[in-house]
Amino acid sequence: MRRIYESEALRRDDDDPFSPNESEEGRGSHVNWANVSHALFPSRLRARAIAVDVETDKDRYAPDEPVRFRATFRNRLPMPVSLVTETPVRWSWAVDGLVEASEVYEPPEPRRTRFDFRRSERKRFERRWPQRIREREDEWRAAAPGEHTLSVRIGAVDGAEHLVAETTFTVER
């Protein structure tokens, strides 16, 4: 029995089109699907292709108990989708309209970037909020008892109204 290297099974030949050539591997097979997405779908339709969801681990929390939540973004299409965002921060969360539960939130500088999704891709992010609202650089206060609204949004340039989800939870007395 001859060894594999003696049989020339791994031979590469420039003259034989059926023999792999290292210089051609991968060439011509790459399609920039983000560009295809931009070419085929208007930005408003791309925004509708992405489903946004947010959920907390519980409906009721004791005072000072961290609120754990998960933001999920899912491409509903069987092809890649690319969204143009207003800032490098592709998505954000807010409690009762306060971004990152802060009254002193400083938005990032405007610089457009992309939020890319492979076909049928699901992106999940988990965060926790310690039930504190930032009032100043070094001062935080406890969240008031009662019902609160947690929202998640993608900061897309077009179609942002479709890229929002929210849920409610209660902080007990």
Residue 3 pLDDT? 60
Of residues 42 and 26, more confidence is placed in: 42
Residue 104 pLDDT? 86
Residue 25 pLDDT? 45
Q: How many residues does the chain have?
A: 173
- The answer, yes or no, to whether residue 7 has pLDDT greater than 50, is yes
90-99 tens-digit pLDDT: 999 999 999 9
Residue 24 pLDDT? 45
34-67 burial code (b ≥16 CB/10 A, e <16): eeebbeebeeeebbebbebebebeeeebeeeeeb
Asked if 95 and 131 touch (Cβ cutoff 8 Å), the reply is no
> If you ran DSSP here, which 8-state letter would residue 74 be given?
E
- Look up the CATH number of domain 42-171: 2.60.40.10
Distance CA 99, CA 147 (A): 17
Domain ranges of the chain: 42-171
